[in-house]
Amino acid sequence: MPSESSDSKLFRDRIPLKNPYVAAALAWLLPGAGHFYQGRYFKAVLYAVCIWGTFLYGLQLAQWRGMYYQFEAGNTRYGFIAQAGIGTPAILSYVQARRYQASNSKRNDRGALQHNDFSRINEPVQSEFRATNDWLRLFEEVDSLEGEVHLNEPVGQEGFGTDYHGIFTGTMNGDTQVTVKVAGLSLDRGVGCEDWRLLKCKVMESSDPRLKAGQIIFGAVPRPVQDWLFVPVDDDMLQSLNRQLGKLFELALVYTWIAGLLNVLAVWDAFEGPAYGYGDELATDEDEKKRKEASTKAAENESSKSDAKLSTSEATS
């Protein structure tokens, strides 16, 4: 660590820290924003590009499931502490975890959150719908269903006697147009880690005889990004990510941790200024040394000249 000269002790006066508390808070919330507020544009761009780049790359590598808040007995994500160096995603993760808990009450034996609890719909849904062969095992001649579902509001009281209706319009097996009236609808919960929600319904009436009345269709409707991003990931999804990505999943997490830890340095820089100095101290110190050396040399020359003069005058006398 370079030693601070008297000049460099004053280097912080040369940096416009403005209100350091505001700057630090902004730097924590959005890397680069604190320095932008202070007018330190080079550093703002450098921090924003480096920290956001590392964080987003890691998050993308983990298929956007690398960051979530989960602090429960036996199921704690300590990596979140490092990731929390970046404020906005950390806050969003906390909010999503609360929303997830509110929309979920089922847990498995180990206390982990489960995702397959269906709930009856309580709002009208108009959405894309997709069901493939895996889901349609009850229908021998049906390979896929793709189209739109319009689910109506439930009629009657919650529980026994409540009736749910909907209409599916789309294509069957990729070519045949079908319209299916469905009932007995239930939908996967609103907030979850997958980008789709499971929809279960019973065929009431169909325009194609291959879809028989009384049989059950399992399909998926898309889940909006605000309902799955930063949401706690369940065991099934974690296993699937590890299986799919292998070591890359761990690497992705390391990227997000490092990004969070690097932002701690950026926050401190926004609050206190750079740790060592402005950056030109070493140069000025060297200049000072050179100046001193030059002046001592000049003084020596001067004294040797005067000595020589004195000796010549003594010799002449």
Partner 1 sequence: MFDQSFSLAAQLSITWHVIPLAVVVSLVYSASRFELPEAILQRSARLFGTILLFMGVVFLVLYLLSFGL
Is residue 51 within the footprint of partner 1 (CB under 8 A)?
A: yes
Residues 244-283 that bind partner 1 (CB under 8 A): 247-248, 251, 255, 258, 262, 265-266, 268-269, 273-280
**Per-residue interface string for the shown chain with partner 1, residues 3-32, x marking contact by CB under 8 A:** --------x--xx-----------------
Stretch that binds partner 1, among 43-51, 88-96, 216-224, 296-304 (CB under 8 A): 43-51
Q: Which of 42, 110, 175, 214 binds partner 1 (CB under 8 A)?
A: 42
What does the alpha-carbon distance between residue 139 and residue 131 come to, in Å, rounded to a whole number? Answer: 11
Piece in contact with partner 1 (CB under 8 A), picked from 49-57, 105-113, 175-183, 208-216: 49-57
Answer left, alpha or beta for residue 259, where phi above 0 means left and psi between -120 and 50 means alpha. Answer: alpha
Instruction: Name the minimum Å distance from CB 300 to partner 1.
Output: 34
What are the residues whose beta carbons fall under 8 Å from the beta carbon of 83, sequence distance 6 or more? 67, 89, 90, 93, 256, 257, 259, 260
Q: Read off φ and ψ for residue 151, nearest 5 degrees.
A: -105, 130
287 to 306: interface string for partner 1, x by CB under 8 A = --------------------
Give min distance, CB of 280 to partner 1, in A: 6
Structural contact between residues 201 and 217, judged by C-beta atoms closer than 8 angstroms: yes
Half-sphere exposure of 176 (CA within 13 A, CB side): 16
Positive/negative CA dihedral, 247, 250, 255, 261: negative
Whole-angstrom CA distances from 12 to 17, 161, 271, 278 are 8, 73, 11, 8
User: Is residue 184 within the footprint of partner 1 (CB under 8 A)?
Assistant: no
Residue 60 binds partner 1, judged by CB under 8 A: yes
* Binding status of residue 43 toward partner 1 by CB under 8 A: yes
Q: Which is nearer to partner 1, 172 or 266 (CB)?
A: 266
Is residue 48 near partner 1 by the rule CB under 8 A? no
Question: How many of the other CB atoms lie within 10 Å of CB of 160?
Answer: 6
Amino acid at site 142: V
* Segment contacting partner 1 by CB under 8 A, of 39-47, 79-87, 134-142, 222-230: 39-47
Distance CA 137, CA 33 (A): 53
How many positions of this chain bind partner 1 (CB under 8 A)? 33
Among 54, 96, 104, 256, binds partner 1 (CB under 8 A): 54
CB of 259 within 8 A of CB of 51? yes
Binding site for partner 1 (CB under 8 A): 11, 14-15, 40, 42-43, 46-47, 50-51, 53-54, 57, 60-61, 247-248, 251, 255, 258, 262, 265-266, 268-269, 273-280
